[in-house]
Structure 1
Amino acid sequence: MSMASTVCSQFRFDPARHGALAALVVILCFNLIVTPNFLHTQTLFVNISQVATIAIVAMGMTIVIATGGIDLSVGAIMALSGALAPLIFLSPFGLANPGLGLAAAIIIPILAALCCGIFNGVMVSYFNVQPIVATLIFFISGRGLAQVLTNGNLQTISNPSFSYLGTGKILGLPFQGWLVLAIALVLWWLVTRSMFGRQLLAVGGNERAARLSGIPVERVKIGAYVICAGLSGLAGLIVVAINSASDAARIGSLMELDAIAAAVVGGTLLQGGRAPIFGAILGAVIIQLVKYTLLANGVADEVALIAKAAIIIGAVYLQQGRRD
C-alpha cells in the first residue's frame, strides 16, 4: 500500500474539527466558479481589509470567551476609539505638533479602549456581574459617548502616516494582513507558552478548580477583557484609516456579532477553556467570504445577517463533538 493510501485510510473527516476548513473550501470553489472577478487583485485587497478588522476583534473575543465570558462592547469601543483619533489630531495641540499629534491620535484612543476593558473586567470579576450584562453597559453607552464627542458629525482625518494603517502595503500585500499575522503570533505564544495562557484556559475550563489551585482568577479575567478592548480600539483606528473619516454611528456596527461568529466558527467553545487564535482568523475569513459572496451575487445585506446566524447555529451544533 502506498504512503498516500495509508494516509487517506487513516484520515477520517470529523465535522467538529474539519467543518470550518471544509466550509472555506466550498465557499472558495463556489466563488471561483460563479462570482465574477473573484481573483482580481482589487477584490483580494478589499476582502483582506474587511477580514483584518473582523479577525483582530475576533482574536480578542476568543481570549474573553476562553474565560467563559463574552464581550458585547467591542463595536462601541471601536466607535469610541475611532471618534477620538480625528478629534485629537485636529485639536490645537495636534495641528501645532503634527508628529506628536499623530502619535497621540493613535496612543490615546487605544489607552481609552484599554480603560473600557478594565471597566468590563472589574465589573465581571470583582462585582460578579454577568459578562453579557457588564459589557452591555458599554455596548449602549460607548457608542453614545462617541456620538456626543463628535456631535454626531462625520470627522475626517487626512494624514498619509495615519492612513498607512488602513491603506499601506508591505511586499505588495495590505499592511493590515501583516498586522493580523503579528497579533496572532503574539496571542498564540501568550495562550500556549505563557503562564497567563495556562491560567486563562484553566479559568475557562473550571473556574472553581482554578481558584482553589491559587490562580488569580480576577486578574486573569481583567487581562482577557483588556486584551479584547485594546484590539477593538486598534480595529477602530484601522477603519478610520481606511475611510480617512470617522462616523461614530457606523464604525463597529454589529462587529460584536461578527467577532462572536468568527470565534465560534474557528473552534472557540462558548463554555470556555479553549482559545484557538488561528481558528478565529479562519472564522473571520469565512464570515467575510459569506458576506462578500452574497453581496457579489446580488443578495440583500439583510440575508447576510440571516446567513451569519445560521453559521453560528451550525458551529454551536458542531461544538458538541469537540467536548472532551
Structure 2
Amino acid sequence: MPDRTKLLQRYGVLAALILLIIFNLIVTPNFATLQTLSVNLTQVCTIVIVGTGMTLVIATGGIDLSVGSLMAIAGALSPMIFMSTLFPISNIYLAVALGIAIPIVVAGIFGLFNAWLITRFSIQPIVATLVLFIAGRGIAQVSTNGNLQVFVVPQFQAVALGRVLGIPFQVWIMLAVVIVAAFVLRRTVLGRQILAVGGNEVAARLTGVPVARVKYFVYGICGLLSGIAGLIVIAMNSAADANLVGQGMELDAIAAVVVGGTLLTGGRATIIGTLLGALVIQLVRYSLLANGVPDAAALVVKAGLIVLAVWLQRQEQA
C-alpha cells in the first residue's frame, strides 16, 4: 500500500476537519463566533453519542439499525413520566429524575433484546435490529397515540439547554461519553475483547473470550446511549414527537463511524475518529448551507465521504 494511502487513512478525517475550518474562517461570515461554535456542537452531540454506541457495535462486526427508534421510545416515555400522565408524582425533581432514568434504562433493555436475538438465535445483526427499527417506532407512536407532547419543564430542559462554564450541558455529556468509551476500548480487557470478537469471532471464542457477554454489553450500551440522545432531542425542542425523534439517526451514526475510520467488518475501531467524522459531516453541511447551497447537496457530499471512507478501507484490506 502506498505510504500516502496509509497517511490518508490515518489522518484524512483530521485533515478534512482542519481544511473545513480554514475554509469557513476565510469564506463564511461570522464563522469564528461562539454562537456558531455552539450551534455546530449542539447539532452534532446526538450523532456523536449514538455514534459512540454504534462504534462499539460495529467493532464486534455487528450493526444496529434500531437506534433511531430507541430514541423515539425514550423521547415518548420521558414526558409521560415527568408530566405525571403515567402515575402521579408530586415532587418535580423526583419526576424529572425518573423521567430521565427510566427511559434510558428501557432503551438499554431494548438494546439487550437486540443482543438476545443475535446470540440466542444466531440472527444476523442487520436483520435482528431491523425488528426494533420497525416495531420500536410503532411502540413509541402507540404509547402517545401519535400525539405531539409539548412541555415547559425547565428542570428537564436543562439536559439540553443548560450551560456549565458557558458550554451547553449536552456537549459535556457528549465529551464524557466519548472519553469513557475511548478509555474502555483502548485501555481495558473488555475493549480488547470487543476488538477480538470483531476481528475473528471463532478465534476469540476458542481463546476464552465470552463472545455472547461482549455482544450483550455493546448492544446494551448502544441502547442506553440512544436513550440519552432521545432525551436530549426532546429537551432541545421542548416537545416529543414519536414520528420524528431519531428519524434517520441510524444512517447519520453509521456515516460518522465509517468516515471516522472504524472498519465496517469489525476488529478495528476508533471513538475519537467517530467524533471527528461527525464533526466533518456537520461542518460540510454547515458550510454548504451558510454559503447558499441547498441542503440536498449536503446529502450528496455525505454519500461521497462514505464512499471514499469505504474505498480507503478496501485499499487497506487489499
Q: What band does the TM-score fall into relative to the shorter chain? A: over 0.9
Amino acid at match of 1:125: T
The question of 1:23 aligning with 2:19 is answered: no
Shift of 1:323: 4.2
Where does residue 192 of structure 1 map in the other structure? 186
> Residue 82 and residue 204 in structure 1: after superposition, are their counterparts in 2 closer, same or farther (change >3 A)?
same
- In structure 1, what residue type is equivalent to 2:34? T
Partner in structure 2 of residue 87 of structure 1? 80
What is the Cα deviation at residue 316 of structure 1?
0.7
Per-residue CA deviation, residues 254-295 of structure 1 (Å, 9 max, x unaligned), is 111110011111110001011211111111111111122222
Q: Determine the C-alpha separation between the residues in 1 that align with 2:191 and 2:245.
A: 30
| Residue 56 (structure 1) aligns with | 49
Q: Deviations over 1:206-263 (max 9, x none)?
A: 1010011111111111111111111011000011111111111111111111100111
The whole-number CA distance in structure 1 between the counterparts of 2:305 and 2:5 is: 23
Which residue in the other structure is 2:201 paired with?
207
Amino acid at match of 1:218: A
**TM-score for both structures, normalised by structure 1:** 0.93
Structure 2 matches for 1:130-209, cutoff 5 A?
Answer: 130-209=124-203
Closer, same or farther: CA 154–85 of 1 in aligned 2, 3 Å:
same
Q: How far did residue 184 of structure 1 move? A: 1.4
Does structure 1 retain, via aligned residues, the 8 Å contact 2:93–2:155? no
* TM-score, reference length from structure 2: 0.94
Secondary structure in 1 aligned to 2:121? coil
- Picking from 29, 42, 58, the partner of 1:36 is 29
Q: What corresponds to 2:94 in structure 1?
A: 100
CA deviation after TM superposition for structure 1 residue 150, in Å: 1.3
Residue 226 of structure 1 pairs with residue 217 of structure 2: no
User: Is 2:33 aligned against 1:71?
Assistant: no
| Structure 2 unaligned residues grouped into runs of 5+ | none
Quick check: 2:257–2:273 contact (8 Å CA) kept in 1? yes
Please report how far the alpha carbon of residue 48 of structure 1 lies from its aligned counterpart in structure 2 after TM superposition.
Answer: 0.8
CA distance in 1 between partners of 2:205 and 2:266 (Å): 15
Structure 1 residues 13 and 214 mapped into 2: Cα distance closer, same or farther (>3 Å)?
closer
Query: Any gaps of 5 or more consecutive residues in structure 1?
Result: 1-9
Offset from partner CA, 1:48-76 (integer Å, 9 cap, x none): 11111111011110000000001111111
RMSD: 1.8
In the alignment, residue 257 of structure 1 is paired with which amino acid? L
Q: Sort the Cα spacing of 1:168 and 1:126 in 2 relative to 1 into closer, same or farther, 3 A.
A: same
C-alpha distance after superposition, 1:55-110 (max 9, x if no partner): 10111100000000011111111111111111111125355231221111001100
SS in 2 for 1:273: coil
For the residues of structure 2 that align with 1:323 and 1:94, how far apart are their CA atoms? 57
2:103 paired with 1:109: yes
Letter in 1 for 2:99: A
| Kept after mapping to 2: 8 A contact 1:16/1:321 | no
Which one-letter code corresponds to 1:124 in the other structure?
I
CA–CA separation in structure 2 for the residues paired with 1:199 and 1:13: 26
Q: 1:6 maps to what in 2?
A: none
Count of aligned pairs between the two proteins: 315
* More divergent stretch after superposition (262-271 vs 185-194): 185-194
Cα distance between partner residues in 1 of 2:106 and 2:288: 36
State whether structure 2 residue 245 is matched by structure 1 residue 251.
yes
- 1:226 partner amino acid: G
The code of the aligned residue for 1:281 comes to L
